[in-house]
Amino acid sequence: MNVPADLHYTESHEWVRREGDGTATVGITDHAQAALGDLVYVELPAVGRKVKARDAVAVVESVKAASDVYAPIAGEIVAVNEALKSAPEQVNADAYGAWLYKLKPDDAGAIDSLLGADAYVASVGEA
């Protein structure tokens, strides 16, 4: 299982990368995309939407199932990865490169309360 040490994670399988401009980039983990199988559709949130931590903000759909993607922290959606609308399989090819959306956190420190790589691996029970 690929779990980069420089990212933060949620128990609901989102990853978060703190960016130099103060935003946070969010996607789904390698574990999540593998469990879902081949993605066929991604529904992205609206730019400008204010979200609370744990709000359902996006949907990823595979041939097996549809799954909500949750906001790991509160903030405002400032960008979405438009390329995924026509090529959702990018998430399967590179879960950590194919981000879903970026948000401007209400509290940048909230990212630090998320899981580190080791804690995320422990939460899914794989090594």
Number of domains the chain contains: 1
pLDDT tens digit string along 34-71?
A: 999 999 999 999 999 999 999 999 999 999 889 999 99
Q: Is residue 113 part of a domain?
A: no
Give residue 11's Cα distance to chain centre.
11
Tell me the pLDDT tens digit for each residue of 89-112: 999 999 999 999 999 999 989 999
Look-up: residue for tokens 């609206």?
46
d(CA 110, CA 108): 5
* Whole-number pLDDT of residue 43: 97
Buried b or exposed e, range 26-65, using 16+ CB within 10 angstroms: bbbbbbbbeebeebeebbbbeeebebebeeebbebebeee
Instruction: Say if 118 falls within a structural domain.
Output: no
Residue 117 in domain: no
Instruction: Check pLDDT > 70 for residue 126.
Output: no
Q: 61 is in which domain, residue-wise?
A: 8-106
CB 90 within 8 A of CB 83: yes
CATH number of the domain bearing residue 86 = 2.40.50.100
Residue 127 lies in a domain: no
Confidence of residue 79 (pLDDT cuts 50, 70, 90): very high
